[in-house]
Amino acid sequence: MDKKKTIIFAEDTVHIAKLLKFKLEKEGFNLIHFASGVGVTDGVLQYMPDLVLLDIMMPVKDGLTVLKEIKSNPILSKIPVVLLTANSHEEYVVKGLQLGATDYILKPFASAELVLRIKNILKMQ
């Protein structure tokens, strides 16, 4: 039997985070949630997830800072990172892709599409 894939995701909007957890766990993923960018890089080091899903706009520590930390660490830099951001912040997406993000999803998003894209990225790894 396949080992459950682990996803770390950082998202500060509580209900959306719970919905994503519900949807992705139903798809057989193991989810670890952070309510802000604080501690995410340590979490990635500890759990070595198969994918990281990062909201860009978060209090205290934003997603791009976390992405930079992950990509500058040679142990973690191969882990795919998917960015989640508001439609109006496309310039952050460009910056994120330059920093090494694998893909991005704009809010508002369809949860089914998000699940599909995560599956595709994991399949390609």
Partner 1 sequence: MNIHVDIYTFLALTIFALLILTYALVIQVVLLRLFHGYQYKQEQKFFAVWEEKIFMFLEGEEKPQALIKKINRSKYLYLLHFLREFLLMLKGDDFLKLSAIVNDTKIQQFLIAQIKSGSPKKINEAAYYLGLAKSVAAKNILRKKLRSQNASVFLSCALALARLNDVNIIFDIFGNARRFKFVSKDSLLTILSEFTDEICAPLLKNLKSEKNVLIQSITITLFRHFKYYKAGESVLKIMVYSQNKEVIIESIKFFSSIEFMEASTAMRSLINHPKPEVRTEVLKALAVLGNESFEQRIWDCMYDPEYEVQYNAVITLLKLIPSSEEKISQFAYGNRKDRAAAIARMVLSERSIRN
Pick the closer one to partner 1 by CB: 16 or 122.
16
* Alpha carbon distances (Å) from 37 to 45, 67, 85, 123: 14, 10, 14, 26
14 binds partner 1 (CB under 8 A): yes
Pick the closer one to partner 1 by CB: 25 or 42.
25
Residues in contact with partner 1, shown as a per-residue x/- string from 52 to 81 under the rule CB under 8 A: ------------------------------
Token code pair at residue 96: 């994120």
Residues in the chain: 125
15 binds partner 1 (CB under 8 A): yes
**CB-based contact 41:73 (threshold 8 Å):** yes
Query: Within positions 74 to 113, which residues make up the interface with partner 1, using CB under 8 A?
Result: 107-113
* In the complex, least distance from residue 107 CB atom to partner 1, rounded to whole angstroms: 5
Tokens 């995701």 locate to 9
